[in-house]
Structure 1
Amino acid sequence: MEFRALGTSDLKLSAITYGAFAIGGNMWGGNEQKDSIESVRASIDNGVTTLDTAPFYGFGLSEAMIGKAIKGYDRSKLQLLSKFGLVWDGSNQGKGEFFFDAEENGKTIPIYKYASKANVIKEVEESLKRLDTDYLDLLQIHWPDSSTPIAETMEALETLLQQGKIRAAGVSNYNLEQVKEARKSLHIVSDQVGYSILNRSIENDLVPYALENNLGIIAYSPMERGLLTGKYFQEGKLKENDHRNGYFQQFDLEKVKAFLQTIEPLAAGKNASLSQLVLRWTTLQPAITVVLAGARNAAQAIANAKAMDIQLTPDEIGFINTELSKI
């Protein structure tokens, strides 16, 4: 495994970071808790020291399972990354910015973006309890909240830094202007954003800024929620309550399928899967500090970790990029 410094912080994160959205179950058609916990432990046992989660993932379930999974490991050698700012239980008392309606067990649950100072402090205490730890290595706002001044949210993060409850502060889903605004109040060290072989829009502005200003970029959805594994084109069926039924429709699926078929021989020649090849390509892109990879079981977790064993030459990266231009 390769370990990389996150921005100007003293954090060293594993280049492949465990992404814990799917094990929360909500929006993913459910989960098997035993398999999920085993996937976390298999990741750690294969060199993945960094785990990224959020209260919203499973409405607390993802954090709770990670708390269980890491028992018995040296906490000082792990990096726990979590978030705040998505409220679902009415504790915002009608404040905040409405985001969307989630479905859980047949119920509609309104989700709000809410990042007031008081709410940030409250959420962190709840996260620490679920994760069974007394500090987070990185805390990130989950989504921008237009109802709360960025400066107020940053003030909360500064308080938590001073209290020692977090080691570093970052943001998630912030555009470049929001990052600049946040940095006027607090030196955030990272931005977690969607980035994949099919979604490279941040290369236009955020990546150049990150390179010039030592901002870490944590890339999520590198596999486009499983589309780039190629399995969807073989099986093509998802559970009815799986959000990906709609998510995948944003892509030209025939072109994506053709692209994957073109690069598959390259993966096979390296005794790797398409998933591993795509993950490795993503880790090699400019300004990308770490790449989040989800896993629902131990086998997937091990495969993700071993993606870092793949060596890609400049010519091979050029070949992939040339084929990408055809999509």
Structure 2
Amino acid sequence: MDLKELGKTGIMVPEIGLGTWKYRGGVEPLEAGIGQGAWLIDTAEMYRTEDVVGRAIASRRKEVFLATKVSGSHLRRDQVLRAADASLRLLDTDYIDLYQIHWPNRGVPIAETMGAMESLVDQGLVKYVGVSNFNLGELQEAQNAMSRNPIVSNQVLYSL
């Protein structure tokens, strides 16, 4: 599997990851994918697959790059922190490699959301912050709200 740098982090990840949207299989297909070099796993709280992903990566956590997302309806500071805690518990891990905002939400100040994301990085619960489905203006606004950490990715609406 070819690797690509994640943003400007120096971290190399597979060009193709295992997405779990609408995934209803067990751990075996995920384990097989990891074994074949697809060790970037993408999930989200709204997919309701974090528990099966957690079981699939339990014995290989250090070999996997784990990306998950907070729902666009949970972007208040306290909601982001609670969602991250729930994801960590379901994934049975003590850190998330890439924590992303799933969808922008104009009803919540982006500075509040990004402040919560930076707090998770500061606590060591999240390594990198990303967004998903943001347009250029939303991405710039989110980055401007960050004081210590770059946004390393924008996962666009695309699926094989």
Q: TM-score, normalised by structure 1?
A: 0.47
Q: Aligned partners of 2:155, 2:32: CA distance in 1, in Å?
A: 24
Instruction: Determine whether 1:16 maps to 2:2.
Output: no
What corresponds to 1:192 in structure 2?
155
**Residues 30-179 of structure 1 mapped to structure 2, 5 A cutoff:** 31=24, 35-58=25-48, 62-73=49-60, 75-86=61-72, 113-179=73-139
Ranges in structure 1 where 5+ consecutive residues have no aligned partner: 24-30, 87-112, 195-219, 224-327
Query: After superposition, what is the alpha-carbon deviation per residue over 1:170-212, rounded to whole angstroms, capped at 9, x for unaligned?
Result: 0011000000111112221110111xxxxxxxxxxxxxxxxxx
Give SS of 2:127's match: coil
Q: Conserved in 2, the CA contact under 8 Å of 1:11 and 1:137?
A: no
Q: Aligned partners of 1:2, 1:168: CA distance in 2, in Å?
A: 21
**Residues 177-326 of structure 1 mapped to structure 2, 5 A cutoff:** 177-186=137-146, 187-194=150-157, 220-221=158-159, 223=160
Q: When the two structures are aligned, how many residues end up with a matched partner?
A: 157
Ranges in structure 2 where 5+ consecutive residues have no aligned partner: none
Superposed displacement of residue 13, structure 1: 1.3
Q: Conserved in 2, the CA contact under 8 Å of 1:17 and 1:49?
A: yes
Superposed displacement of residue 9, structure 1: 2.0
Mark the CA change 1:71 to 1:142 in structure 2 (over 3 Å): closer, same or farther: same
Q: Conserved in 2, the CA contact under 8 Å of 1:114 and 1:147?
A: no
Superposed displacement of residue 151, structure 1: 1.1
What corresponds to 1:325 in structure 2?
none
Which structure has the highest helix share of the two?
1
State the one-letter code of the partner of 2:56: A
Q: Conserved in 1, the CA contact under 8 Å of 2:74 and 2:83?
A: no
Q: Conserved in 1, the CA contact under 8 Å of 2:98 and 2:128?
A: yes
Q: Aligned partners of 2:13, 2:142: CA distance in 1, in Å?
A: 23
Q: Aligned partners of 2:51, 2:66: CA distance in 1, in Å?
A: 12
Q: Aligned partners of 2:96, 2:51: CA distance in 1, in Å?
A: 14
Give SS of 1:42's match: helix
Superposed displacement of residue 22, structure 1: 1.8
Query: Percent of aligned positions with the same letter in both sequences?
Result: 39
Q: Aligned partners of 1:20, 1:10: CA distance in 2, in Å?
A: 25
Query: After superposition, what is the alpha-carbon deviation per residue over 1:119-178, rounded to whole angstroms, capped at 9, x for unaligned?
Result: 000000000000000000000001111111111111011111111100100001100000
Q: Aligned partners of 2:154, 2:105: CA distance in 1, in Å?
A: 15
Larger RCO: 1 or 2 (CA < 8 Å, sep 6+)? 1
Report the RMSD for the aligned CA atoms in angstroms: 1.2
Q: TM-score, normalised by structure 2?
A: 0.93
Q: Conserved in 1, the CA contact under 8 Å of 2:17 and 2:42?
A: yes
Q: Aligned partners of 2:9, 2:117: CA distance in 1, in Å?
A: 14
